[in-house]
Structures are given as structure tokens and as C-alpha cells.
Amino acid sequence: MFGLGIVVSLSNPYWTIWWLTIGFSLMASTARADGTMRWAPVAAFYTGHTLSDFTWYAGVGLAMVLGRKFLEGRAYRYLLIGLAVLLELFGIFFLWKSGASILG
């Protein structure tokens, strides 16, 4: 089951894009001046990230179940478009930040 989870994650292009932008930027911020990684912050980041994903998706699932009857038609569509634009802006920001981290 664990291996299947890895395959699903790797086959999801959004997972790869997230780690190439935001994830790399955050991991690079844990590097020492000599370029070596500090593993305690990496482990804390991974644990916190996993817990935040679980919390986020639980909240999104609950909001979808309870909120679908309040948002219908155009309002729901505009909300989804607005959130998609926000995610794209976050991606651009973190891509820029990770690029700046790589280039120094």
C-alpha cells in the first residue's frame, strides 16, 4: 500500500510541480552555509507538511460536503476560478523564490 501511495504521488504532476517550486525552496532554506542539510528541520518540515495536508484536505472535504448547497452555478464556478488563480500566483512566487535560492 505504501508503494502504491508513492506511485500515485509521483504520477500526479501537481505533486512534482509543488516539490520543484515550493518544496525545494523550503528545503533549501534549511541548508547550512557550507551547503550541507540540517536533517532535524527537514524531518520537522516533512512531519508538519504531512499533518497540514491531512488537516487541509479534511477541511476541504468537509467544506465541499456542507457548502455545496450554499454555492451553486456561477458563484461556485467563480470561486473555483479565483482559487485556481491564487494557486498559480503562489506557484509563480515560490518558483521565483526557489530560483533565487539556486542562483544565490
Q: In angstroms, rounded to a whole number, what is the distance separating the alpha carbons of residues 78 and 22?
A: 26
Q: What pLDDT is stored for residue 94 in this prediction?
A: 84
Say what the pLDDT of residue 96 is. Answer: 86
Q: 88 and 22 in contact (C-beta within 8 Å)?
A: no
d(CA 51, CA 88): 23
Rounded distance, CA 8 to CA 6, Å? 5
User: What is the pLDDT at residue 72?
Assistant: 75
Structural domain spans, the chain: 2-103
Residue 30 above 70 pLDDT?
yes
pTM exceeds cut of 0.85 = no
Residue range 39-77, pLDDT digits in tens? 888 788 888 888 988 898 899 888 877 776 777 778 878
**Between 82 and 35, the higher pLDDT residue:** 82
Give the pLDDT confidence of 82-102 residue by residue, as tens digits.
Answer: 989 999 998 898 888 887 777
Q: Where are the beta strands (DSSP E) in 1-104?
A: none
